[in-house]
Chain A
Amino acid sequence: MPVSVSSSKLIYQSLKDVGVRLVSALPETWLVHLIRFAEDDREMQLVRLAKEEEGVGISAGAHLAGVSSAMLMQNHGFLASVNGIVSCAQLYRIPLLMLISHRGEFGERDPWQTEGGGVTIHVLDALRIPHVRLESPDHVSQRIQKAHTLAKSASRPVALLLCRDLMWEDA
């Protein structure tokens, strides 16, 4: 499975560097290494979810209790979380660091991913959620750090879109 181990390591280390100590996740192909790193890291609390929206509540609770967290999900998981994002995180000014695997863009081979890929950015914009693409190892660390800074200072959700060129190594 050509999911980039080196990019996943870079993303994971960047999350650690900004102080993330709890990660909620629902597995999808591009996230497998990230979830495994969290699972193997004794400094990290991994919370495996049944549905992504739970992660909003868990991150909100962790934040109020003083623990920085991140959410790992596919863009369809983000779409499934919209009410929680609006009526928990935005209503109560909770910083969320959302790492969203951005399936369904150019190069996508799975037909079932293509519809979500087309609407993700529009939904983020409609929700006024600042977002940035992670597509090259060069900027991963800096963009995660800046996203985390904005989430904290604004006390609002922010999104990092994990893109194909970063996550997938075609054979």
Chain B
Amino acid sequence: MKRRDAMELVYADLGRCVVVTIMGAVAAELQSIGHRPNFFYLQHAMGLASSMGLGIALARPDLKVVVFDGDGSVLMNLGGLTTLARYRPRNLVHVVFDNESLLSVGGFPTATSTGSDIAAMAAAAGVARASTVTTLDDFRAAFDDALATDDLTTIVAKVEAVGPSGYVTDLSLLENRYQFQRYLRESFRSSP
């Protein structure tokens, strides 16, 4: 499974969610599919995308929050899995694209390449709904189930270690940040 194909498969559903991604390939690929004002790309601060997702999910329980994370980032904030499990935001879907490498900085293998199992760690942290998928069909099914279910879900999607040729896009970081904040403000006004 390729990460870009997985994101493209669920892209239509992301229109009614709030999306936070990590840096690098995930951000560049999602933007290449099509940027939307409800997408925020955390272009640094590895590990904190899931924490940002938690902050949004707690502040706005009326919104479905999707985090597109990666194995390298999750491994930098494993304790964050316990915080997610502890507060169990019912409106958060935590997708971890696991390519078993730090692709953006040269493809060095991460510990998931030698057996560390992120879904098992999420489950052990207390996330009741945590699974690993390896095919696009299974990803689609798991993502649909997560969107339809009112509970914290972690989906680890095993993907190939391939990405775009570059990571800098023409969307500036602060433009993205203020557009995203404005989207959240206006979604609050327009929700009943």
**Could you list which residues of chain A lie within 8 angstroms of chain B, going by C-beta atoms?**
22, 45, 47-51, 53-67, 69, 83-84, 87-88, 91-93
Contacts and interface: CB of A to CB of B under 8 A. Distances in A.
Contacts of B48: 53-54, 56-57, 60, 84, 88
A56 B42 CA distance: 12
A47 B58 contact: yes
A60 B47 CA distance: 13
A54 B83 CA distance: 9
Contacts of B7: none
B192 to A, nearest CB: 17
A64 B37 CA distance: 13
Interface size range of chain B in the complex: 35 or more
22 contacts: A47-B54, A49-B79, A49-B83, A50-B79, A51-B79, A53-B47, A58-B51, A60-B52, A60-B55, A61-B51, A61-B56, A61-B58, A64-B56, A65-B63, A67-B59, A84-B47, A84-B48, A88-B44, A91-B44, A91-B45, A92-B173, A93-B177
Contacts of B63: 65
Contacts of B188: 66
A61 B47 contact: no
B116 interface: no
A57 B44 contact: no
Contacts of A51: 77, 79-80
Contact of B58 (A49, A62, A87): A62
Interface of B: 20, 40, 42-45, 47-60, 63, 77, 79-80, 82-83, 86-87, 173-174, 177, 180-181, 184-185, 188
Contact of A58 (B42, B54, B79, B173): B54
A84 to B, nearest CB: 5
A43 B49 CA distance: 26
Nearest to A45: B58
A62 B20 CA distance: 13
Contacts of B55: 22, 57-65, 67, 69
B20 to A, nearest CB: 7
B142 to A, nearest CB: 24
A54 B86 CA distance: 14
Given A61-B51, A66-B185, 8 more contacts: A49-B83, A56-B45, A57-B47, A57-B51, A57-B52, A58-B52, A64-B52, A84-B47
